[in-house]
Amino acid sequence: MPILPIDTGRYGTPEMRRIFEEEARLQKMLEVEAALAWALTEVGVIPKKAAEKIGEKASTRYVKLERVKEIEKTIKHDIMAVVEALAEVCGEDGGYVHYGATSSDILDTATGLQFKEALVVLESKLNMLEGVLLELSWKHRKTLMVGRTHGQHALPMTLGLKFAVWLREVSRHIQRLREGRKRFLVGKLTGAVGTQAGFGPEGLTVQKLTMERLGLHPVEASTQIVQRDRYAELICLLALVASSLDKFAAEIRELQRTEIGELQEPFDVGRQVGSSTMPHKVNPIHSERVCGLAKLMRGLVVPALENIPSWQERDLTNSSAERFLLPTAFITLDYMLSLICQVLKGLKVNEERMLENLNLTQGRIMSESLMLALTKKGLGRQEAHRVLRGLVMKSWAEKKPLKEIVLADEQVRSRLSEEEINRALDPNAYLGTAVEQVELAVEKTRSERESRGVSSALL
């Protein structure tokens, strides 16, 4: 009976879960055994007929998961159970199965094959997210809103700039993933302590040929296992991506607050229920789920780092942790990427509310603009700051527009005309290079996508 939410189908996508299913894992191990047998034939260690038979039978069509489990129940060794089950279906040629190899040769190389497949799925989802943010950045490059620091109104900005910041963050994650493949997608055939003694003088050639056939990089040197700094780096990268998604989702949640109301994630008003008792609720549940799962993803970093130390050439402390760690990390992040893409594709932007919120402080968010205007007219910057702070506090205390307070101040009026004051108080005139930054970010991203062979024709 399923227990974990991944198993029940609550979390995870079919394409990623499929990669880490038991039968898929068994198939990967069988593929490694077949590739090893082929390589051994190439260097003249085992008969060609035996390698052909092993290659033919190294499939879950012949080696059944139920039989492997039956053998393991008796002998208490998972890889030896796979070896025996494969040898059974290979008949007299079964004696050459697993020749010269140790368990971790098969396990870690099969893991490399899973990583290879899973990273394709993740990169595809990241490309999709990048594309959605590319569209949003461009569409809203001039959409005026208030920027906030410390949860308080700060200065005017554009929504497109916010999205462009997210866009480039995702682009960096794609770069990290692509660059890291040469370290993540590795396999090994080095035997029990890394010496390749079981393969004799042809050990390096056997490893090279096998990995070429499987589409993996051979390790440069190893103990009995692929060194876990590689896995730890990968899990740290996945946690980095998850933390960025957490950041995006948290911002959407914050801007969906009733008091703010500038953004809203998709909500099916015809069928979706927000609360079992409050019919009016429209909750950002998908964004909240992304934030919640990010906590889990960050938590996976610690066991990944803890797996780097190993007694001498290998102990078994990494194994049990990785059975949870690796599938959970990939399946969870893939699901989070699907969720955030769904949220952003259907995101509702309330530009009218953005303008209302922009004016909540009655012009006080333009104090920096006025301060610098005074400085340009000869008032020292620090003195201009002191003057404006006093006027802003007066505006706040008396609940009057800043313009009204400024126009009544002789020190300001002696330096700035009413036209200059109006210009300094105009949020549209104080966006700096916001629009230009968005355009540059979009241009750079489109160029990168084209170099990766990813379409950007939506702009």
Domain with residue 77: its CATH number is 1.10.275.10
What's the rounded mean pLDDT across residues 433-456? 95
Query: pTM (2 decimals)?
Result: 0.95
Co-location of 118 and 76 in the same domain: no
Whole-number pLDDT of residue 268: 73
Whole-number pLDDT of residue 91: 96
Coil, helix or strand for 277? coil
Give 187-222 as a DSSP string: E----SSSS-GGGGGGHHHHHHHHHHHHT-EEPSS-
Contacts of 168 (CB under 8 A, 6+ apart): 441, 444, 445
* pLDDT over 70 percentage in the chain: 99
Tell me the pLDDT tens digit for each residue of 55-108: 999 999 999 999 999 999 999 999 999 999 999 999 999 999 999 999 999 999
What's the rounded mean pLDDT across residues 217-224? 97
CA distance 294 to 287: 11
CA distance 242 to 338: 12
Of 338, 357, 376, the residue at which a domain comes to its end is 357
What's the rounded mean pLDDT across residues 251-273? 90
pLDDT over 60 (residue 459): no
Tokens of 216: 């993996």
Tell me the pLDDT tens digit for each residue of 387-435: 999 999 999 999 999 999 999 999 999 999 999 999 999 999 999 999 9
pLDDT over 60 (residue 218): yes
Q: 430 and 155 in contact (C-beta within 8 Å)?
A: yes
Is 438 contained in some domain? Answer: no
Co-location of 398 and 292 in the same domain: no
DSSP H/E element including 349? strand 348-349
Residue type present at position 278: M
Tell me the pLDDT tens digit for each residue of 37-57: 999 999 999 999 999 999 999
Whole-number pLDDT of residue 276: 67
Of 346, 238, 215, 200, residue with least CA distance to 287: 346
When mean pLDDT is compared across 260-269, 343-352, 408-417, 438-447, the lowest value belongs to: 260-269
Co-location of 60 and 129 in the same domain: no
Co-location of 405 and 420 in the same domain: yes
Whole-number pLDDT of residue 437: 98
CA distance 91 to 82: 15
Co-location of 200 and 226 in the same domain: yes
Domain range holding 419? 364-424
Contacts of 237 (CB under 8 A, 6+ apart): 173, 176, 177, 180
Q: 64 and 85 in contact (C-beta within 8 Å)?
A: yes
Co-location of 11 and 157 in the same domain: no
Of 305, 324, 357, the residue at which a domain comes to its end is 357
Of 357, 379, 413, the residue at which a domain comes to its end is 357
Co-location of 214 and 350 in the same domain: yes
Q: Give me the CATH number covering residue 266.
A: 1.20.200.10
Is 448 contained in some domain? Answer: no
Whole-number pLDDT of residue 7: 87
Is 148 contained in some domain? Answer: no
Is 317 contained in some domain? Answer: yes
Whole-number pLDDT of residue 275: 66
pLDDT over 80 (residue 130): yes
Co-location of 314 and 252 in the same domain: yes
Give me the helices (H) in 222-265, please: 229-255
Of 262, 35, 27, residue with least CA distance to 163: 262
CA distance 175 to 328: 23
Co-location of 120 and 202 in the same domain: yes
Please give the positions annotated as active site. Answer: 150, 275
Is 147 contained in some domain? Answer: no
Co-location of 234 and 113 in the same domain: yes
Which long-range contacts link 297-300 to residues 24+ away (Cβ below 8 Å)? 297/238, 297/239, 297/242, 297/243, 297/329, 297/332, 297/333, 297/336, 298/239, 298/242, 298/243, 300/235, 300/238, 300/239, 300/325, 300/328, 300/329
Q: What is the mean pLDDT of the chain?
A: 96
**What residues pair up with 144 in beta bridges, in sequence order?**
158
Is 84 contained in some domain? Answer: yes
Q: Strand ranges (DSSP E) for 67-200?
A: 144-149, 152-158, 186-187
Domain count within the chain = 3
Is 35 contained in some domain? Answer: yes
pLDDT over 90 (residue 226): yes
Co-location of 120 and 207 in the same domain: yes
CA distance 250 to 262: 14
Tell me the pLDDT tens digit for each residue of 276-330: 678 887 889 999 999 999 999 999 999 999 999 999 999 999 999 999 999 999 9
Co-location of 267 and 343 in the same domain: yes
CA distance 280 to 265: 16
Is 37 contained in some domain? Answer: yes
Q: Give me the CATH number covering residue 403.
A: 1.10.40.30
